[in-house]
Amino acid sequence: MWTNKNTKLPIYKLKDLLEDYTQKNKKDETIPVYSVTNKEGFTISTDVFSKEVFSKNLKTYKIVSDGDFAYNPSRINVGSIDFFRQDGQGLVSPLYVTFRTKNSIDNRYLKYYLKSKIGRALIRANTSGSVRDTLSFKNLSNINIPLPLINDQKRYVKTLDQADTLRRKRKQAIELLDEYLKSVFLDMFGDPVSNSKGWDVIKFGEIISEICYGSSRQSITEKIKDSIPILRIPNILKGSINNYELQYQILPPNEKEKLLLKKGDILFVRTNGNPDNIGRCAVCTEDIECIFASYLIRTRLFENSNFDPIFIRYLFSMDSYKYKIRKESRTTAGNYNINTKGIKNFDLINVPKKLQQEFIAIYNHISSLKQKMLLQSEELETQFQALSQRAFKGEL
């Protein structure tokens, strides 16, 4: 134990507070298999993945009981760590690290600390690996933690729980808006893949005037003279275009002109190692001085098209259509791919424009509500992080 000028609390090494603990399922007992996610913590594996991804031979899997911690050593850097709070026992992959805490530290306090900005920064600083960064139990044990007395830990945790409940409720409200919009779409148009309402069907290629890949030139991270922002996969998220860590390129005028985005353009993710990302798309809602990278495909509708770009974007975001795109994508060197030919071959239900506009009016209203909630969610997140910092400095 020692002190630090940045906190009023004594500092401990986690090795003094944790016990490396592993119990294998040697008797091959029938016990539920769990994954540990960054959002939900311990979750039944089949609820996370669409099919069983764990081995049928569970003898090498690790048993966790009430209070036991587990984490995926290559995912803890994004907050995938939790302690078990279910009746009975669970199993986790043999790749997971499992451990227990000593009586001097509260499990919830430790979890909040390791998932905080401070904790995750320390985790990143202690990871190692030539291909993929991982955190061993030994390296985890080297992390320092400010530690108040156990009663103060519980008091801090109670305050953080209250703040966490508020931010979770706001996120749940946002998710409910998303679910409501999906139900509106299905009620108005039916499932776009099975075409349960019997609409006429046309190919996407019939309504687009232009389709092309983006720039494959080398990008730079800083804006300099004559450079232009370039959109990449992280900039295409949840149907919108964002400014997340923009990069830049310098292009000849004719190439730049060809790749400039215009209002109504639809961008598709065409290649990625995660099949859930294939076909992810967003609509450019205004003319912007921006181009796009080669792992994106831009489509542009005919000016007199009967289709609204937002309706098309939303149609492609429906679960059944995302599954259809994943199923039809090709796999090369571990990446899933679609090309311009595949995109032009997408089927579209030919819905009257008036109905599309009715849906878009609802979509715009929900989007406005959602934007307000997102701002509130950001404020709650900021407040939660501020409380966390105060807790780990001993100022609550």
Q: Of 50, 72, 107, which residue sits at a domain end?
A: 107
Residue 98, in any domain of the structure: yes
Residue 325 phi, psi (nearest 5): -65, -45
CB-CB contact of 276 with 201 (8 Å): no
Residue 17 neighbours by CB distance under 10 Å: 16
Number of domains making up the chain: 2
Tens-digit pLDDT profile for residues 268-300: 999 887 777 888 999 998 888 999 999 999 999
Band (pLDDT 50/70/90 cuts) for residue 341 is: very high
- Go through 366-376 and write b for each residue having 16 or more CB atoms within 10 A of its CB, e for each that does not: ebeebeebeee
Residue 325, in any domain of the structure: yes
What residues does 337 pair with on adjacent strands? Answer: 271, 330
The reply to whether 93 and 204 lie within a common domain is no
Which residue, 141, 126, 135, is CA-closest to 72?
A: 135
Tens-digit pLDDT profile for residues 307-316: 999 999 999 9
Which residue, 66, 97, 99, is CA-closest to 84?
A: 66
User: What is residue 50's predicted lDDT score, i.e. its pLDDT?
Assistant: 44
Tens-digit pLDDT profile for residues 177-201: 999 999 999 999 999 999 999 999 9
Residue 388, in any domain of the structure: no
What token pair was written down for 127? Answer: 């990871």
CA gyration radius, the chain: 25
Residue 179, in any domain of the structure: no
The reply to whether 64 and 205 lie within a common domain is no
User: What is residue 127's predicted lDDT score, i.e. its pLDDT?
Assistant: 85
User: What is residue 291's predicted lDDT score, i.e. its pLDDT?
Assistant: 95
Residue 383, in any domain of the structure: no
Q: Is the pLDDT of residue 79 over 90?
A: no
Q: Of 334, 350, 366, which residue sits at a domain end?
A: 350
Which range marks the domain in which residue 314 is found? Answer: 200-350
What token pair was written down for 262? Answer: 């215009």
Higher-pLDDT residue of 133, 152? 152
The reply to whether 214 and 340 lie within a common domain is yes
What residues does 231 pair with on adjacent strands? Answer: 292
The reply to whether 208 and 322 lie within a common domain is yes
The reply to whether 344 and 207 lie within a common domain is yes
Cβ contacts of 251 within 8 Å, gap of 6 or more: 215, 217, 228, 259, 291
Which residue, 125, 40, 121, is CA-closest to 85?
A: 40
User: The whole model's pTM is what?
Assistant: 0.75
User: What is residue 271's predicted lDDT score, i.e. its pLDDT?
Assistant: 87
Residue 177, in any domain of the structure: no
What token pair was written down for 364? Answer: 């715009």
Q: Is the pLDDT of residue 394 over 50?
A: yes
Tens-digit pLDDT profile for residues 99-128: 999 999 999 999 999 999 999 999 999 987
Q: Of 84, 107, 130, which residue sits at a domain end?
A: 107
What residues does 236 pair with on adjacent strands? Answer: 241
User: What is residue 345's predicted lDDT score, i.e. its pLDDT?
Assistant: 95
Residue 305, in any domain of the structure: yes
Residue 129, in any domain of the structure: no
Domain CATH code at residue 342: 3.90.220.20
The reply to whether 68 and 209 lie within a common domain is no
Tens-digit pLDDT profile for residues 347-368: 999 999 999 999 999 999 999 9
Share of the chain above pLDDT 70, in %: 95
Largest CA-CA distance found in the chain, in angstroms, rounded: 73
User: What is residue 334's predicted lDDT score, i.e. its pLDDT?
Assistant: 76
Tens-digit pLDDT profile for residues 16-59: 999 999 999 999 888 999 999 888 899 988 765 544 555 667 89
Cβ contacts of 71 within 8 Å, gap of 6 or more: 36, 80, 81, 82, 96, 97, 135
Share of the chain above pLDDT 90, in %: 72
Mean pLDDT of the chain: 90
User: What is residue 54's predicted lDDT score, i.e. its pLDDT?
Assistant: 55
User: What is residue 295's predicted lDDT score, i.e. its pLDDT?
Assistant: 92
Tens-digit pLDDT profile for residues 144-173: 999 999 999 999 999 999 999 999 999 999
The reply to whether 99 and 214 lie within a common domain is no
